[in-house]
Chain A
Amino acid sequence: MRRRSVSYAKYGYIFSIPFVLAFIIFSFYPIIYTAVIGFTDLKGLTKTDFKFLDNPFQNFELILHNPSFITSLSNTAMIWIINFIPQILLALLLAAWFTNHRHHIKGQGAFKVLFYMPNIITAATIAILFSSLFGYPMGPMNDLFKTFGLSQESVNFLLQKWTARGVISFIQFWTWYGYTMLIFISGVLGINPELYEAAEMDGATSSQTFFRITLPSLRTIMLYMLVTSLIGGLQMFDIPKLFIPNQGPSNATLTTTVFIYNQAFSGSYMYNRAAAASMILFLIITTLSGVLFFIMRDKQAAKLRKQEKNRVKEFNKANRISARRAEV
């Protein structure tokens, strides 16, 4: 009688259990719970019991008509745009310089380490550090302005809408351009070197090579950066929360996540409205993720699936052989 070959498939399920359990308990359930709270009257510190509202969408309507919420969305968008465009341009430029074979930049390693450094420092610390640097009446920035004769009087930077937003955008830019640059560099290094050799043989200039070969090849990576940065930008919390107490003059630096936090964990603890706002934010993020997923899926997923299939085939073959060997 021939014995059936041993099946190890069940271990696939067993080894996935911790992930699935942790996901259900700490991610899935809280999201559902948040969604449910959005339809209830749950507010007030230490409250946990709730009942559904007569008009279930009342919180959503209130939030969508709340001028602070609208301001927070437009602030988030503005702060993100002001930081993202220069960030991506500078990162591209640096990536092009650092990967240029003909003009090698000395000390690249040190530059990379320094450019990326702000990214790993606690955002909370950076927020308070910059808020101190831009202090009024006598912060380092004011000191520099006076020393270089840019202004006679002390400037209260944080009381002006656009400087307050501008500084937050700058902090975001400053903490992330190094990261973006490193991703672009690895992207450029992944481009087929033969393309560059061919271009060199045809006598292409550095800028021609950059615009005709490098840039088009980085398109997918740039889209990926765009969407991940946008999703990250929508969650901006630490820096706007701590940079200016109460988010500055007329909510100049109020972002969506800070709005949600303030609704739920200060004032009258309106968990229900914060939950409704979270769900709106969640919808926006899911839509953007969907776009990313759609873009990334085409090429990468097809490639991965192909690799996968080959591996499975090989693996099954190996399994069968080893099972047979075990029988012998």
Chain B
Amino acid sequence: MKNKANVSNYALDTVKYTVCILLAILSILPFWIMLMNATRGTFEIQQHAVSLLPSTHLFDNIKVLAGKSFNPVTGFINSMIISTCATVCAVYFSSLTAYALMAYDWRMRQPFFTFIMAVMMIPAQVSGIGFYQFMYRIHWTNSFLPLILPVIAAPTIVFFMRQYLLATLQLDIVNSARIDGAGEFYTFNRIIMPIMKPAVATQAIFVFVGNWNNLFTPMILLTDHNKYTMPIMVSLLRGDIYKTEYGSIYLGLSLTVLPLFIVYFLLSKYIIAGVALGGVKE
């Protein structure tokens, strides 16, 4: 009988590992085909669109790609500026708001928290038309400010930071800082922010990636080619000018994915832990 159980255990294990390995391949394969095709010529791709090995046409593809409107360097720099500023704003001001909710006893505190919970789910898309008209009127289209400043009010991050403070904040520390004559703002910057470092790091990754990948808002606001972000650059590959340049389309896609791959595999440990910790979509 023990033998029988063992056999079925082996069978189950085989199924488990097979499924997991297949799913892993499913995660890798599309990107692998993309990277390989980035090095292959259009003719090769037309003959056989799948190849697991690279070819020699990488430089031809680079030439074709660079000769047209797709400009990965500009896109990269713009996305970098926006995502970095947005990340700094989001984590700093969310921590500040969370601290206000945790450390002080003020009358509007509970209503304010309820309010933050309530607006958590409002998506940017539904106010897109009003947002665009508003920005157009104050001449902020083609500016990075409307892509950065709104993240100061990030309810999900405030919620996360508050949960973190709930578990870690020792009010004794705040009190002893007060006794030593530290101002409230100084206490927050010099004592509370360092305590929140782990939470800040986790959230920073997600805010950065979220802003890096954002397509909707930049797409309605930015019309100047020099201001395009990476996702808008990618959407240019969709256009007619690249219709038959298969190799360079794959190359363009690869260029937008590579920075994310590098960041992801360097920080994957923290990212995976962060997802489990948050349970909040950003």
Contacts and interface: CB of A to CB of B under 8 A. Distances in A.
Determine chain A's interface SS by DSSP, over half rule: helix
B149 interface: yes
B96 A18 contact: yes
A235 B125 contact: yes
A256 B196 CA distance: 39
B27 A118 contact: yes
Chain A CB count within 10 A is highest, among B127, B184, B276, for: B127
Contacts of A237: 125, 215-216
A244 B121 CA distance: 28
A123 B213 contact: yes
Given A12-B106, A135-B49, A114 B27 contact: yes
A2 B100 CA distance: 28
A274 B131 CA distance: 13
A316 B104 CA distance: 9
B100 A29 contact: no
A8 B104 contact: yes
B204 interface: no
B257 A37 contact: no
Determine chain B's interface SS by DSSP, over half rule: helix
A48 B136 contact: yes
B106 A10 contact: yes
A223 to B, nearest CB: 13
Interface in B239-274: 246, 249-250, 253, 256-257, 260, 264-265, 268, 271-272
B107 A9 contact: yes
Nearest to B150: A26
Contacts of A189: 276
B275 A12 contact: no
Given A15-B97, A34-B128, A235 B134 contact: no
A279 B16 CA distance: 46
Contact of B268 (A16, A113, A228, A315): A113
17 contacts: A8-B103, A15-B97, A37-B129, A37-B133, A109-B272, A113-B268, A129-B34, A138-B45, A179-B275, A242-B234, A264-B132, A265-B220, A275-B129, A282-B122, A289-B121, A318-B172, A322-B179
